[in-house]
Structure 1
Amino acid sequence: MAKEYAEQLFLQEKPTLALLAIWSFQKTYASVITKEINSTFAHTTKILSKMEEYGLVKFTMEGRVKYVELTESGFKVVEALKNLIIALEGELPEGLGPAEDENIEDLAGKRQEVFTDHEQNQDICEKIKRLNDTTISIYNELVIGGADRETVIRRLGPFKRDLKKIENVMQECHAIDDATLEYFIETKELLESLINQ
């Protein structure tokens, strides 16, 4: 890693916003950060990977859920960034104030959001699994039965609509964890490959 890259990383808007967002949420998913910084998932994961290389963030798995949170070095960088913002602007923007200002109701609300997000992720993951299993089962039946390509397309094509419905639900959710998002992408790619064979 070149020394210049660390400077370039935090002299750009998205990485700085990502680090501040992680600090704000304390423990969150990459997909939440993606929405917070108005970026793509791929770009966000690239930023987070670089931050992990620098020892600023760490990833932890809890079941199928992959969380990202700040390390001790990450907290130090956030403090430096906040001091820089104060030096330049005179105060921190709304939402970046000290965590001690949060009251019990706000913290309880955040915990409830995380719990609800987890339930939504489990529900979406179950829907994806059912769709994945059904797709594979029908495809195997068709192959064993010697079905032609037209029949395979006709039978599997409607599952694209089901995937789109799941995708719409995912877009309405507050936070989709990385494992659920990856599972959705894998299922979508599988369906496409089976239809296009």
Structure 2
Amino acid sequence: MAEKHAENLFLQEKPTLALLAIWSFERTYASVITKEINSTFAHTTKILSKMEDCGLVQFKMDGRVKYVELTDRGMDVVNALKNLILKLENETEENSPANNISSTFQNSESQSSEESESQKVQSINSKVVNLRLKIENIYEELSNNNEDSDAIARKLGPFKRDIKKLEDQIESSQNPVDDIAIITLNDTRQRLDNIINQGQ
């Protein structure tokens, strides 16, 4: 029954954005997805439930926290969606809705060889903002679930690697990156260090 309706799910905007958001975060929460796709928690839960029925996502518990992540089949669908987005934007229409979606959820491994330097800068700016939001959302979720400071530090620690990757991309960029993005990234690093140091 679920197989029959899977194609209808991704003819709608919110489920598509939700799946791309899960791919971007790798492992996240329903509340984070709700904010990312500008939806209600109830509607997001319904979307995620349908995705689970279709075998695209799976839920896992880590202590008292319930995560959602892609299955192998879900990753295949994401790759198909990314290819569709690239086709729709013809790789040149910077202001198209499809380009806005792809740049928001594009990670460092998905940079195409044809991407211009200005597009790389725009992508870096988006990644910096998304990383800050991701850290704050996860910290808020963990705090609301009364996780202790050690557990919070362990779960947010890996984001140091993401910050370092972005710093390397900014340093190697041939075009200047927006000062706001640099300030935001520095502020994000300091914020993450403060959170992690609370658990030490």
TMscore range, shorter length: 0.5 to 0.7
CA distance 1:31–1:118, shift in 2 (3 Å) = closer
Check if 1:69 corresponds to 2:69.
yes
Check if 1:124 corresponds to 2:144.
yes
**8 Å CA contact retained: 2:2, 2:53:** no
CA distance 1:113–1:85, shift in 2 (3 Å) = closer
Larger relative CO (CA 8 A, sep 6+): 1 or 2?
Answer: 1
| 1:60-99 paired onto structure 2 within 5 Å | 60-91=60-91, 92=99, 93-99=102-108
CA distance 1:35–1:120, shift in 2 (3 Å) = closer
Q: What is the count of residue pairs matched by the alignment?
A: 122
Q: Secondary structure at the match of 2:105?
A: coil
Range that drifts further, 93-102 or 50-59: 93-102
| 1:151-162 paired onto structure 2 within 5 Å | none
CA RMSD of aligned residues (A): 2.8
Larger Rg: 1
Gaps of 5+ in 2: 92-98, 112-122, 147-200
- Equivalent AA in structure 1 for residue 144 of structure 2: I
Quote how far apart the aligned CAs of 1:85 are: 1.2
Mapped partners of 1:62, 1:22: distance in 2: 17
TM-score of the pair, normalised by structure 1: 0.53
CA distance 1:79–1:50, shift in 2 (3 Å) = same
Mapped partners of 1:76, 1:64: distance in 2: 29
Q: Secondary structure at the match of 1:69?
A: strand
Q: Secondary structure at the match of 1:95?
A: helix
| 1:38-77 paired onto structure 2 within 5 Å | 38-77=38-77
TM-score of the pair, normalised by structure 2: 0.52
CA distance 1:7–1:86, shift in 2 (3 Å) = same
- Equivalent AA in structure 2 for residue 90 of structure 1: N
Mapped partners of 2:83, 2:138: distance in 1: 34
Quote how far apart the aligned CAs of 1:8 are: 1.0
**Percent same amino acid among aligned pairs?**
61
Mapped partners of 2:2, 2:138: distance in 1: 38
Mapped partners of 1:87, 1:69: distance in 2: 26
